[in-house]
Amino acid sequence: MNFEVKQQVPLAALDSALHHAREPTLDLLAKIIGGAGSRPSLLAKAKTFNRLIEFAKIGAWTEAAFALIALELPLWRVRRLAYEDGEWLCSLSYQPNLPIEIDDCAEATHEVLPLAMLRAFVEACGRRHVMRGVRIDRSAYSAMAGANHLL
């Protein structure tokens, strides 16, 4: 299985594919890595990446999902895994020390645990991209702070 990025898949399309999947597959994992993952970080951590692929090849999909989260989202933590009414809920948190009531978790559900985890991973990747896109213009902030000081 080739995990080189041929064409990036939009996150919404990845989530839809995961939602409709009955079980995880290597092809689906390749699409997730290509669409949600950042290839340079995978190459820099080749040992961890190889372990992730080995987990997937032997069918250890829950371990593969944990490995992917640890590899691509090192600051995020699995906050909650719960099974209720035939579905798994996976919550990933960027701020796991906050009370869960105010934590803005990336959450997803699926009948299959690894697919719920992978859907939450895709959701967290979308939030990571948004967080990276938000930049504070320090000069504008300093100017506003100075103007407020004068008031």
Mean pLDDT per 10-residue run, the chain (151 residues)? 62 93 95 73 70 95 95 92 97 91 93 98 84 46 42 41
CA 36 – CA 30 distance, rounded (Å): 10
Give the count of domains, the chain.
Answer: 1
Provide the sign of the torsion angle of the four alpha carbons 108, 112, 11, 78, taken in this order.
positive
Residue 127 within any structural domain of the chain? yes
Q: Is residue 21 part of a domain?
A: yes
Report yes or no on 85 lying in a domain. Answer: yes
Site of tokens 């290597």: 26
3 is a domain residue: no
What per-residue confidence (pLDDT) applies to 146?
45
β-pair partners for 83: 88
Tokens 């697919």: give the residue: 115
Q: Is residue 74 part of a domain?
A: yes
Asked if the structure places residue 44 within a domain, the reply is: yes
Instruction: Say which residues have a Cβ less than 8 Å from residue 2's Cβ, sequence separation at least 6.
Output: 30
**Residue numbers of the domain that contains 54:** 11-133
Has residue 5 been placed in a domain?
A: no
| Residue 145 in domain | no
Question: Helices in 5-137 by DSSP H: which ranges?
Answer: 11-20, 26-35, 39-44, 46-57, 61-72, 113-133
Nearest alpha-carbon partner for 20 in 106, 118, 89: 118
Alpha helices (H) along 58-137: 61-72, 113-133
Q: What is the pTM of this model?
A: 0.79
**Are the CB atoms for 54 and 75 separated by under 8 Å?**
no
